């Protein structure tokens, strides 16, 4: 009996030793392509299960929130668009309510990005679906406190980009020969001795669209408020969208030349 036990232990030791000397290795990977087409039969039980949820979602997305008397779209060859103004102004109105409640301060102005506007709003009834199409991302609002120098970097960026990045109506910029002629906040020049609270998205605050001036601010306040939610809140509170190009970004062309 003792001999059998010794033999068993020796055999086990040899197996373990063999595994250590020859570790298992992947020899081959096999796969096959499964085409996704009309031949695939759906699971009827699952289809039946999601019917009520699909109906609820459809009702929610088709809910009318407001009315737009005109088409709202962005144009890449412009420095200002009606939909960009609409986006920036509503973010100021809705975001400032949250910011003021948290800090007892006010936002100075808003800067978003042209690429963040993912769809237009056609003339007519505006639904929840339009809000999701306009802002399909989960971007949230943040307010960054920028020094005077950082604000100047921001203004320089806007001029050099030549793109209609949305800014709120509190900020007015005049440009000539790719240089700033004037930049006014609520009709006044920026003060070198103070900082400014600028609302933007968390994506841009982290340097998205190369807006690096938003990094390392004096202070940052996360509002925990999604931009899409702000759009829906704004639409629910108004009856008709009033979005126009009001000259918040002016471009002075050279005499005899027209800007396309």
Taking only the tens of pLDDT, the chain with its 260 residues reads 444 444 455 555 555 555 555 566 777 888 888 888 877 777 777 777 777 777 777 888 999 999 999 999 988 778 999 999 999 999 999 999 999 999 999 999 999 999 999 999 999 999 999 999 999 999 999 999 999 999 999 999 999 998 999 999 999 999 998 899 999 999 999 999 999 999 999 999 999 999 999 999 999 999 999 999 999 999 999 999 999 999 999 987 654 444 44
Tokens 């920026």 sit at which residue?
A: 190
- Any idea where the domains of the chain sit in the sequence? 61-247
Tell whether the torsion through CA atoms of 158, 161, 166 and 169 is positive or negative: positive
Show the tokens assigned to 183. 């930049």
This prediction's pTM: 0.79
Is residue 33 packed enough to be buried (19+ CB in 10 Å), middle (13-18) or exposed (0-12)? exposed
Q: What is the CATH number of domain 61-247?
A: 3.90.780.10
């Amino acid at each position: 009996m003792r001999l059998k036990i010794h033999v068993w232990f020796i055999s086990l030791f040899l197996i373990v030793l063999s595994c250590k000397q020859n570790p298992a290795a992947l020899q081959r990977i096999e796969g096959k392509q499964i085409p996704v087409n009309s031949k695939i039969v759906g699971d009827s039980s699952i289809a039946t299960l999601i019917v009520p949820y699909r109906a609820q979602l459809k009702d929610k997305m088709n809910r009318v929130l407001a009315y737009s008397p005109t088409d709202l779209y962005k144009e890449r060859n412009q420095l200002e668009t009606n939909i960009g103004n609409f986006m920036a102004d509503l973010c100021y109105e809705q975001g400032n309510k949250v910011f003021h409640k948290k800090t007892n301060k006010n936002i100075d102005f808003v800067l978003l990005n042209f690429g963040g506007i993912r769809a237009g709003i056609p003339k007519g009834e505006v639904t929840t679906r339009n809000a999701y199409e306009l802002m399909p991302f989960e971007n949230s609002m943040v307010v960054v406190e920028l020094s005077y120098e950082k604000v100047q970097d921001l203004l320089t960026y806007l001029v050099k980009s030549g793109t209609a990045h949305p800014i709120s109506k509190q900020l007015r910029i005049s440009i000539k020969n790719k240089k700033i002629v004037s930049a006014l906040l609520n009709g006044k020049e920026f003060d070198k001795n103070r900082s400014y609270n600028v609302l933007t998205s968390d994506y841009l605050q982290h340097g998205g669209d190369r807006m690096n001036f938003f990094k390392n601010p004096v202070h940052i306040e996360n509002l925990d408020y999604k931009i899409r939610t702000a759009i829906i809140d704004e639409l629910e509170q108004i009856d008709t969208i009033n979005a126009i190009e009001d000259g918040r970004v002016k471009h002075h062309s050279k005499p005899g030349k027209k800007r396309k």
